[in-house]
A and B are shown apart, each in its own frame.
Chain A
Amino acid sequence: MVFSSLLFVYAFLPIFLLIYSMARGIKAKNIVLLIFSLIFYSWGEPVYVLLLLFMTFADWIFALLIEKCNGKKTGRKILLILSCIVNLGLIGFFKYTAFFLGNIQSIFGVPDVIPQIILPIGISFYTFQLLSYVADVYRKEVPAQKNFFWLLLYSSLFHQCIAGPIVRYSDVEREILDRRVSPDEVTKGISRFAVGLAKKAVIANTCGSLSDTLLVTDAFMSTSANEALTELSTRSVVALWVGMLFYMLQIYLDFSAYSDMAIGMGLMVGFHFKENFNYPYAARSVTDFWRRWHISLGSFFRDYVYIPLGGNRKGTFNTYRNILIVWLLTGLWHGASWNFVLWGLFFCIFLIVEKIGLLKVLNKIPGIFSRIYLLIIVYFGWILFRFSNFRFIPVILKGLFGQNANPVIDFETKTLLLSNFVFIIIAIIAVTPLVKFIAEKLKPKKNNTFYSVIYHIGSSLAAIILLLLSTVMLVGDSYNPFLYFQF
């Protein structure tokens, strides 16, 4: 089940909220939350829910043992390493076996058959959550959770279990057993959820289908790569540029919409998840971009890889080595394929260049230039991200610069642009902080004025309209791809 499905919006969520609000006391509420989270996960993975249970159980034991070993440094360390082996071993097995064996096969010719392992939904997200929990217990930053079910609640919480954000245990530890909701937060949560839903159902999905129309679909690329390649090589220059632009819009809107919905639903029941995106396309440098894009992942790698490796404190060489390791891993986290590794390295190069001195320049020159610089880099980064088959990359790069002997623009692209120009403007506005800025400006300064009443009625209506609009778009809209299953 995904948040942006009618089944979730009109069945799962209302039933959950109803039962949850009827439950009395935090324990009962948690039990309701846990049961619904497990149902939510099992809906997508009726078998691999056992994997989630097992990993949580293992880490629950490890954390308790680590805490028990208080004082014995080596004992604690060994337990931490064991926990890493279990967690990383499992994610490695499920996510990277085929990739690893595929590479071995292409070099050595063995093995003959590469097993097809199904990637359990959300494994990349909940494994990292559990890892951060064990590491935090090891560092004595949080006490180990005594109750297995409350730890399970943390790892399986349906808000963030399958598509992030990667919530730290320390951030929700207190709220697992003590959280309160106030009407103002509920309304905040409602608005956030409605915005996220509309972002996904109305804008991101349309961006995705337009991008597929202008480029080639994933399904087409994977079922018949040769035809897809020919198809791509016939696309006009503008079709490719706009197609990639739609992809760039889609991937942010899609991903941040899930985070919005998670944060919104968290607020409805008293959880406060940290922001996961902060208008990344408005960044002024690659360094800035990665502080704004998928923040929970970036900070995970910072806190659990980069800093433990020594961060920037052990000399220039080690600093760059650490950066390289972090970005190889970041790339690989996004998918078991070389293009993702390359994507990570691509950003790594710019980060290092910026660290050497470019960053100072970027911060000095007018914002418009540094923003254009950033957008160009990110734009080409998404090309690496989108085409997992390397054969497509030279074709699209040549096409973008008119080297495939195609016209600059064709009739079909022209038509598509004409019949969607309003939508394109809306989608571009949606990735900028403009709407937020206007909403802040409109906020009434005084209560109880005529204007404030109008404002509040308006904002209530906005949430309802977004819900209805999303419903209309989701009904019969078979096009509802879920990009993050592969992560």
Chain B
Amino acid sequence: MIYDKPRNISFRVLPSVNSLVPKKKKKLNKVSHDLNNEPIIDISTMPVIDGVPMLKFHDDPDPNIIITEKRTFVPEVRNGDFNIIDVSELPDIDGVPILTLPEKKVEAEKKDGVVSEEINNKEIEHVEVNAPEATALKAPPITEKQKKSKVQKAKNESPKKEKTKKERIKKQRSPGYKTHLFKAASFFIMLYTGAVVAFIIPLRPDYSPSEKRNLEKFPEFSAELLLSGEYFSKIDTWFSDTFPYREFLTKAGTQIKELYGYNSVNIHGDVESGDDIPDAPLETSPTTEPTASNTDVTKAPVTQTEPKTTIPKDEKTDIKTQSLGAIIVAGDAGYEYYAFSKDLAPRFINSVSNIKSSVNGDADVYAMIVPTSIDITLNDNLREQTSSADQKKALNYFNTSFRDVTAVDGIYDTERLHRKEYTYFRTDHHWTALGAYYAYEQFALKKGITPIPLENYETKTYDNFLGTFYSSSGQTSKMAENPDYVTAYLPYNNVNCHIVEADGDAFDWNVVTDVTNYDRGSKYLTFIGGDNAITTITNQDNPDGEVCIVIKESYGNAFVPFLIPHYSTIYVIDPRHYDGTLSEFSSDKNIDDVIFIANISTTRNYIYIDAMERLIK
């Protein structure tokens, strides 16, 4: 093309360029449009160098490189701020020059002022991608007007021209375009699928059976919550806590984590080192402070020693579960660590010792502290290596420190003796009814009665029990492959069992309930309806027998049914749910025995001890 005199020339600009050429004339060559909506640039306003008009580009925001189908032009900076390109070198189709502008600049070019071959290639790739369909993804899309103009153009142009144009566009978005589109589309499809699923509210669970807790609820709005920032953070928690398919996803997470290493033994949670167990029993004086210890560093408030222990109230099953400390999982069995707490132990001992003085009348008090499975059923080799505190020594300390109490001190040895039997669950922190029976034998020995042989009972077994160890180990697959079962010994007497819940609701229940349809984490609820404020069991076959109170935590549930033949009435109190006092409760009852039964972890559970102190007050 020869430009001898200034005139208007029409540029054919690839579609995406339209949006790049600023409509405001300020800095650029004035761009207008002809009838076909093609941009027209008035070359009369262009600077002329050696008689050839030069297209000006402001270096900012316009690109440094002009790309045509045939080659890349690197504009020279000849006029201060402006990059100039020799229009005569532009390729043309039917005498109309074509120019394409790249998407963006590479940072380096601007700095160095030199454009390497490599960058050029890169830039060309950009342009190839820069076809209309690609732009629909993220780049400035084609406007309605442009689409129209395209259609119009297509009509105006002869079929032959149309073909060349199509070919050109096709050629321009070869491999790079497709792969990027594929990549971006596949990711966004995934992201938006996730987003859509996340917003299907009915898919969101409100209860987690494996964790035995209600999941976070969507917060109710209040200005106060909003200003404190809590409203939004609660939405945040709600969103992730009730994420659809939560059970499946958390399980998948555990399975991934099982790939992190060699898992024959695993430890979940933070192991606490605990305090040394004193050799001598606690000094007798209910008000004395904990015996002075040899460590000089620890003198902090007692309530802060166990930040991990919480009792979430569970509305669905109406039990309170206490979260466990660290657990060790060996194969398909879990075991809870035990650590001695020198601050809490004296409080525990004192509240048990004060039971006798709180009960109206001359009752005998029995204390049964039950060891947990880590000291009984865990194999000796592993047990020796763990830092869990020695429960035999701790039990000895407790049993010798109790006052006004008959300590049933043979439990540890008898459980050790029967350790090969099914006395503790593998997937749950409780003992089985069989384990409770051996403790009952020890109790009978102390009380001087003959234990009822196990053969007298009919049994009922509930399969597929996966308890707290299963959930707090993040649902290990080995446990899921080999779940526990719960065997209950059915009372042969005519009994009536009446439950009063913490909130005052009262109803009749069974000593052993059919839990076949309960979720697989809740099978231990078969015994006396789980933990409640007061459970009264009356034995109609023995109306003139003795009366006892059982103060317990959940280990007591499996134990209580064995007492039925020996008493006319058994009152079962769970201090965590009952907010009255023992003296009040027992004032109008003629109590013969009080049995305190709890597992050894209770001795370091400040929530339970707080509740005990309230009860014994």
Contacts and interface: CB of A to CB of B under 8 A. Distances in A.
Interface of A: 1, 5-7, 9-11, 13-15, 17, 21, 24, 42-47, 174, 177-178, 180-187, 190-191, 194, 206, 212-213, 217, 219-220, 223-227, 229-231, 233-234, 268-269, 272, 410-412, 415-423, 447-448, 452-453, 456-457, 459-461, 463-464, 467-469, 471-477
Contacts, number: 224
B129 A174 contact: no
Contacts of A234: 273
A472 B298 contact: no
- Which of A5, A456, A461 has the most chain B CB atoms inside 10 A of its CB? A456
A41 B49 CA distance: 54
A157 B129 CA distance: 28
- Which of B250, B261, B386 has the most chain A CB atoms inside 10 A of its CB? B261
Contacts of A467: 187, 190-191, 194
Contact of A187 (B125, B180, B198): B180
- Lowest 10 CB-CB distances: which A-B pairs, in order? A411-B385, A183-B180, A423-B260, A447-B175, A14-B195, A475-B249, A456-B179, A181-B138, A178-B61, A234-B273
Given A7-B239, A226-B297, A464-B186, A219 B107 contact: no
23 contacts: A1-B236, A10-B194, A10-B198, A21-B137, A43-B236, A44-B229, A182-B130, A183-B139, A185-B104, A220-B307, A224-B301, A224-B304, A225-B300, A229-B297, A418-B263, A418-B265, A419-B265, A419-B267, A420-B260, A464-B186, A472-B256, A473-B253, A476-B253
Contact of B186 (A182, A460, A471): A460
A476 B199 CA distance: 17
Interface in B159-186: 174-177, 179-184, 186
Interface string B223-260: 00011010111011001110100100110110011011
- Which of A14, A227, A453, A476 has the most chain B CB atoms inside 10 A of its CB? A476
Given A230-B273, A411-B382, 17 more contacts: A7-B235, A7-B236, A7-B239, A9-B194, A46-B226, A180-B20, A180-B103, A184-B129, A224-B307, A226-B300, A411-B386, A419-B266, A423-B260, A453-B179, A463-B187, A464-B190, A476-B243
A318 to B, nearest CB: 31
Contacts of B240: 5-7, 474-477
A14 B192 CA distance: 6
Contacts of B266: 415, 419
Contacts of A11: 195, 198-199, 239
Interface of B: 20, 60-61, 103-104, 107, 125-126, 129-130, 134, 137-141, 143, 174-177, 179-184, 186-188, 190-192, 194-195, 198-199, 226-227, 229, 231-233, 235-236, 239-241, 243, 246, 249-250, 252-253, 256-257, 259-263, 265-267, 270-273, 295, 297-301, 304-305, 307, 328, 382, 385-387
A180 B17 CA distance: 12
B187 A422 contact: no
Interface on chain B toward A: helix, strand, loop, or mixed SS?
A: helix
A224 B266 CA distance: 28
A1 B104 CA distance: 32
B38 to A, nearest CB: 22
B246 A475 contact: yes
Contacts of A15: 195
A70 to B, nearest CB: 20
